[in-house]
Amino acid sequence: DGGITQSPKYLFRKEGQNVTLSCEQNLNHDAMYWYRQDPGQGLRLIYYSQIVNDFQKGDIAEGYSVSREKKESFPLTVTSAQKNPTAFYLCASSDRGPSYEQYFGPGTRLTVT
Amino acid sequence: GQSLEQPSEVTAVEGAIVQINCTYQTSGFYGLSWYQQHDGGAPTFLSYNALDGLEETGRFSSFLSRSDSYGYLLLQELQMKDSASYFCALAGAAGNKLTFGGGTRVLVKP
Protein backbone atom coordinates (compact mmCIF):
# COMPACT_ATOMS: atom_id res chain seq x y z
CA ASP A 1 0.00 0.00 0.00
CA GLY A 2 1.28 3.47 -0.87
CA GLY A 3 1.42 6.06 1.84
CA ILE A 4 3.40 8.17 4.26
CA THR A 5 4.85 6.87 7.48
CA GLN A 6 6.01 8.92 10.43
CA SER A 7 7.77 7.56 13.42
CA PRO A 8 7.49 7.48 16.30
CA LYS A 9 3.86 8.38 17.05
CA TYR A 10 4.77 9.81 20.47
CA LEU A 11 8.15 11.26 21.42
CA PHE A 12 9.34 12.65 24.73
CA ARG A 13 12.50 14.69 25.16
CA LYS A 14 14.20 16.87 27.71
CA GLU A 15 14.77 20.53 27.06
CA GLY A 16 18.09 21.26 25.38
CA GLN A 17 18.14 18.08 23.30
CA ASN A 18 17.87 17.96 19.53
CA VAL A 19 15.38 15.43 18.17
CA THR A 20 14.83 14.10 14.65
CA LEU A 21 11.39 13.13 13.35
CA SER A 22 11.20 10.62 10.55
CA CYS A 23 9.03 10.91 7.42
CA GLU A 24 9.05 8.36 4.58
CA GLN A 25 6.75 8.16 1.53
CA ASN A 26 6.38 5.55 -1.21
CA LEU A 27 3.95 7.54 -3.36
CA ASN A 28 6.71 8.63 -5.73
CA HIS A 29 5.87 12.25 -4.95
CA ASP A 30 8.40 14.96 -5.70
CA ALA A 31 7.26 17.42 -3.04
CA MET A 32 7.30 16.95 0.72
CA TYR A 33 6.28 19.21 3.59
CA TRP A 34 6.50 19.57 7.36
CA TYR A 35 3.76 21.24 9.39
CA ARG A 36 3.32 22.05 13.02
CA GLN A 37 -0.10 21.96 14.67
CA ASP A 38 -0.81 23.32 18.14
CA PRO A 39 -4.01 22.37 20.04
CA GLY A 40 -7.12 23.83 18.42
CA GLN A 41 -5.07 25.53 15.72
CA GLY A 42 -4.48 25.20 12.01
CA LEU A 43 -1.40 23.82 10.29
CA ARG A 44 1.66 26.02 9.97
CA LEU A 45 4.33 25.25 7.37
CA ILE A 46 7.84 24.67 8.72
CA TYR A 47 9.82 23.56 5.65
CA TYR A 48 9.06 22.15 2.24
CA SER A 49 11.01 20.48 -0.53
CA GLN A 50 10.03 20.23 -4.18
CA ILE A 51 12.96 18.11 -5.30
CA VAL A 52 15.83 16.09 -3.87
CA ASN A 53 18.68 18.15 -2.39
CA ASP A 54 16.56 21.30 -2.31
CA PHE A 55 14.25 22.74 0.34
CA GLN A 56 12.73 26.07 1.34
CA LYS A 57 11.77 27.67 4.62
CA GLY A 58 8.10 27.91 5.45
CA ASP A 59 6.43 30.36 7.78
CA ILE A 60 7.95 29.11 11.05
CA ALA A 61 11.37 27.63 10.18
CA GLU A 62 13.33 29.08 13.12
CA GLY A 63 14.67 26.35 15.40
CA TYR A 64 14.12 23.58 12.83
CA SER A 65 16.29 21.97 10.15
CA VAL A 66 15.64 19.45 7.37
CA SER A 67 17.43 17.42 4.73
CA ARG A 68 16.26 15.83 1.49
CA GLU A 69 18.92 13.36 0.37
CA LYS A 70 16.43 10.85 -1.04
CA LYS A 71 13.11 11.33 -2.79
CA GLU A 72 11.37 9.08 -0.25
CA SER A 73 12.66 10.70 2.93
CA PHE A 74 12.36 14.16 4.51
CA PRO A 75 13.49 14.10 8.17
CA LEU A 76 12.89 17.08 10.44
CA THR A 77 15.23 18.00 13.28
CA VAL A 78 13.80 20.03 16.14
CA THR A 79 16.80 21.81 17.64
CA SER A 80 17.30 23.17 21.12
CA ALA A 81 16.91 26.65 19.60
CA GLN A 82 13.18 26.06 19.08
CA LYS A 83 11.58 27.96 21.96
CA ASN A 84 8.36 26.00 22.23
CA PRO A 85 8.81 22.61 20.54
CA THR A 86 5.92 20.70 22.14
CA ALA A 87 3.39 20.17 19.33
CA PHE A 88 1.89 17.74 16.81
CA TYR A 89 4.11 17.44 13.74
CA LEU A 90 2.66 16.39 10.39
CA CYS A 91 4.52 15.39 7.27
CA ALA A 92 2.86 15.51 3.84
CA SER A 93 3.70 14.90 0.21
CA SER A 94 2.26 15.84 -3.17
CA ASP A 95 2.95 15.73 -6.88
CA ARG A 96 4.91 18.65 -8.27
CA GLY A 97 2.79 21.61 -9.34
CA PRO A 98 0.09 23.52 -7.45
CA SER A 99 -0.12 21.30 -4.40
CA TYR A 100 -3.83 21.55 -3.71
CA GLU A 101 -4.01 17.86 -2.73
CA GLN A 102 -1.48 16.79 -0.15
CA TYR A 103 -1.25 13.38 1.47
CA PHE A 104 -0.50 13.39 5.18
CA GLY A 105 1.26 10.98 7.48
CA PRO A 106 -0.24 10.02 10.87
CA GLY A 107 1.84 12.60 12.72
CA THR A 108 4.29 12.63 15.62
CA ARG A 109 3.28 14.14 18.93
CA LEU A 110 6.40 15.65 20.50
CA THR A 111 6.51 16.58 24.18
CA VAL A 112 9.52 18.45 25.53
CA THR A 113 9.84 18.97 29.29
CA GLY B 1 1.16 37.21 2.61
CA GLN B 2 -1.94 35.10 2.75
CA SER B 3 -4.54 34.72 5.50
CA LEU B 4 -7.78 32.77 5.89
CA GLU B 5 -10.63 33.14 8.39
CA GLN B 6 -13.07 30.42 9.43
CA PRO B 7 -15.58 30.15 12.29
CA SER B 8 -14.05 28.26 15.20
CA GLU B 9 -16.94 25.89 15.92
CA VAL B 10 -20.30 24.78 14.53
CA THR B 11 -22.81 22.43 16.17
CA ALA B 12 -25.61 20.64 14.33
CA VAL B 13 -27.80 17.55 14.62
CA GLU B 14 -27.64 14.38 12.56
CA GLY B 15 -29.27 14.77 9.17
CA ALA B 16 -28.86 18.54 9.14
CA ILE B 17 -26.89 20.72 6.68
CA VAL B 18 -23.87 22.74 7.77
CA GLN B 19 -22.06 25.45 5.81
CA ILE B 20 -18.50 26.36 6.81
CA ASN B 21 -17.44 29.72 5.45
CA CYS B 22 -13.89 30.71 4.59
CA THR B 23 -12.82 34.25 3.75
CA TYR B 24 -9.30 34.92 2.57
CA GLN B 25 -6.80 37.59 1.67
CA THR B 26 -4.16 36.90 -0.94
CA SER B 27 -2.38 38.56 -3.82
CA GLY B 28 -2.79 35.49 -5.99
CA PHE B 29 -3.57 31.80 -5.75
CA TYR B 30 -4.41 28.73 -7.81
CA GLY B 31 -7.44 27.59 -5.85
CA LEU B 32 -9.07 26.71 -2.53
CA SER B 33 -8.81 23.28 -0.93
CA TRP B 34 -10.71 21.71 1.97
CA TYR B 35 -9.42 19.12 4.41
CA GLN B 36 -11.02 17.07 7.18
CA GLN B 37 -9.19 16.09 10.35
CA HIS B 38 -10.55 13.85 13.09
CA ASP B 39 -9.15 14.35 16.59
CA GLY B 40 -5.60 13.04 16.79
CA GLY B 41 -5.61 12.06 13.13
CA ALA B 42 -4.11 13.18 9.87
CA PRO B 43 -5.83 15.72 7.62
CA THR B 44 -7.44 14.19 4.54
CA PHE B 45 -8.25 15.99 1.32
CA LEU B 46 -11.95 16.61 0.62
CA SER B 47 -12.34 19.04 -2.25
CA TYR B 48 -10.69 21.66 -4.44
CA ASN B 49 -12.02 24.66 -6.35
CA ALA B 50 -9.80 26.11 -9.03
CA LEU B 51 -12.65 28.02 -10.67
CA ASP B 52 -15.61 29.94 -9.30
CA GLY B 53 -18.69 27.88 -8.64
CA LEU B 54 -19.79 24.72 -6.91
CA GLU B 55 -17.98 21.38 -6.82
CA GLU B 56 -20.00 18.42 -5.55
CA THR B 57 -18.51 15.25 -4.09
CA GLY B 58 -21.17 13.05 -2.57
CA ARG B 59 -22.58 14.63 0.58
CA PHE B 60 -19.94 17.37 0.52
CA SER B 61 -19.88 20.37 -1.79
CA SER B 62 -17.44 23.26 -1.99
CA PHE B 63 -17.91 26.71 -3.47
CA LEU B 64 -15.54 29.49 -4.49
CA SER B 65 -16.11 33.13 -5.41
CA ARG B 66 -12.86 34.87 -6.32
CA SER B 67 -14.55 38.25 -6.67
CA ASP B 68 -15.77 38.01 -3.06
CA SER B 69 -12.60 36.32 -1.70
CA TYR B 70 -14.91 33.74 -0.20
CA GLY B 71 -15.54 30.05 -0.23
CA TYR B 72 -17.56 27.54 1.70
CA LEU B 73 -17.84 23.83 2.40
CA LEU B 74 -21.34 22.40 2.58
CA LEU B 75 -21.91 19.22 4.55
CA GLN B 76 -25.27 17.60 3.86
CA GLU B 77 -27.11 14.77 5.60
CA LEU B 78 -24.79 15.09 8.56
CA GLN B 79 -23.63 11.88 10.20
CA MET B 80 -21.96 11.36 13.57
CA LYS B 81 -18.72 10.44 11.78
CA ASP B 82 -18.64 13.96 10.31
CA SER B 83 -17.67 15.32 13.73
CA ALA B 84 -14.20 16.63 12.97
CA SER B 85 -12.25 19.78 12.20
CA TYR B 86 -12.44 21.21 8.71
CA PHE B 87 -9.74 23.42 7.21
CA CYS B 88 -9.76 25.61 4.14
CA ALA B 89 -6.39 26.15 2.47
CA LEU B 90 -5.12 28.36 -0.31
CA ALA B 91 -3.01 26.69 -2.99
CA GLY B 92 -0.46 29.45 -3.37
CA ALA B 93 0.70 31.11 -6.53
CA ALA B 94 4.09 31.73 -4.91
CA GLY B 95 5.73 28.40 -4.34
CA ASN B 96 4.24 24.96 -4.29
CA LYS B 97 2.56 25.14 -0.90
CA LEU B 98 -0.72 25.43 0.99
CA THR B 99 -1.68 28.07 3.54
CA PHE B 100 -4.25 26.77 6.02
CA GLY B 101 -6.99 28.52 7.92
CA GLY B 102 -7.42 27.99 11.65
CA GLY B 103 -10.04 25.29 11.20
CA THR B 104 -13.72 24.86 12.10
CA ARG B 105 -14.66 22.22 14.62
CA VAL B 106 -17.95 20.57 13.67
CA LEU B 107 -19.83 18.75 16.39
CA VAL B 108 -22.69 16.53 15.28
CA LYS B 109 -25.27 15.67 17.94
CA PRO B 110 -27.80 12.82 17.82
pLDDT digits (tens, 9 = 90+) for B24-57: 998 888 899 999 999 999 999 999 999 999 999 8
d(CA B104, CA B107): 10
Q: How far is B71 from chain A (nearest CA, A)?
A: 15
B86 bridge partner residues: B36, B104
* pLDDT, mean over chain B: 94
Give the total residue count for chain A: 113
Cβ neighbours, 10 Å, residue B27: 9
> Of A43, A96, A107, which is closest to B96 when you measure between CB atoms?
A96
Mutant choice from A33, A45, A50, A100 vs B, greatest count of B C-beta within 10 A = A100
pLDDT of residue B61: 97
Using the predicted structure, report yes or no on whether residue B6 has a pLDDT greater than 80. Answer: yes
Q: A–B: how many Cβ contacts below 8 A?
A: 63
In percent, how much of chain B has pLDDT > 90?
86
The mean per-residue pLDDT over the stretch B63-88 comes to: 97
* Spatial CB neighbours of A97, under 8 Å, sequence gap ≥ 6: B96
Q: Which residues of B touch A97 (CB under 8 A)?
A: 96
Q: For residue range A21-75, list pLDDT tens digits in order.
A: 999 999 999 999 999 999 989 999 999 999 999 999 999 999 999 999 999 999 9
Nearest CA in chain B to A42: B102
User: CA nearest A102 in B: which residue?
Assistant: B45
Instruction: Return the pLDDT at B96.
Output: 73
pLDDT of residue B93: 61
Among candidates A40, A97, A100 on the partner chain, residue whose Cβ is nearest the Cβ of B33: A100
A residues 55-84 lying closer than 8 A (beta carbon) to B: 56, 58
B43·A90 Cβ contact <8 A: yes
Q: What is the mean pLDDT of chain A?
A: 93
In sequence order, what E strands does chain B have? Answer: 3-5, 9-13, 18-25, 29-37, 44-49, 53-57, 60-65, 70-75, 84-92, 98-100, 104-109
